[in-house]
Amino acid sequence: DGDGQLEVVVGGTDGHLYVMRRNGMLGAVYPSIGQPLGPIRSSPAVGHLYTPAGAEIAFGSDDGNLYVVKYLPGLQPSLTLCRKFNFGLGAQVRSSPALAEIDPNPGRSPPGAPGFVDYSEVVVGVNLLGGGGRVVALSTLNNNPLWQFDTTNYITSSPAVAELNHA
């Protein structure tokens, strides 16, 4: 948030995402009003998904959704919903999301051109109703999956994204 001090972000099985200041004091909670989400068992991922200003937080929930919220700093910091990806009835998002630029320029201005903005995507594992799993790469710009890979069993770990062929 630009103040030179780190925050701590964690989800709870009570269905809330918490942002704490470095002294352990509560900074913000999502959702702040209304019904809590399903239990949050995935570790949140923090990065810049939309704009260089401020940070977004991606996390999954047992309610079958992946959430992307924006942290709004200030005297009374808050979290606001940017995107919600639903994976269907009975799905659980227990895998921690990975933020990476896996689709470097989907139909946007080329690097170096006026108006070029570099966006990241979200990769996450989802447990589906009936026992299968799915790894999904999502575009945070338009709520569309870039691709998905189905498995016959649940996804029990979190995706890692790296350039493995780099010398």
Q: At residue 7, does pLDDT exceed 70?
A: yes
- Give per-residue pLDDT as tens, 101-151: 887 655 555 556 666 566 778 999 999 998 899 999 998 777 778 899 999
Q: At residue 87, does pLDDT exceed 70?
A: yes
For residue 47, with 0-12 CB atoms within 10 Å meaning exposed, 13-18 middle and 19 or more buried, which class applies? middle
Q: At residue 73, does pLDDT exceed 90?
A: no
Q: At residue 53, does pLDDT exceed 80?
A: no
6-39: burial string, b at 16+ Cβ within 10 Å, e else: ebebebeeebbbbbbeeeeeebbbbbeeeebbeb
**Structure confidence at residue 114 (pLDDT):** 62
Residue 112 vs residue 88, higher pLDDT: 88
Residue 148 vs residue 52, higher pLDDT: 148
**Structure confidence at residue 118 (pLDDT):** 61
How many H-runs (helices) and E-runs (strands) does the chain carry?
Answer: 0, 11
The amino acid occupying position 64 is G
Query: pLDDT-based confidence at 5, cuts 50/70/90?
Result: confident
The amino acid occupying position 150 is D
Residue 110 DSSP one-character state: P
CA distances from 40 to 4, 18, 23, 29, 141 (A): 28, 11, 23, 13, 24
CA distances from 147 to 11, 83, 118, 161 (A): 27, 18, 19, 15
- Give per-residue pLDDT as tens, 12-45: 999 999 999 889 999 999 998 778 999 999 999 9
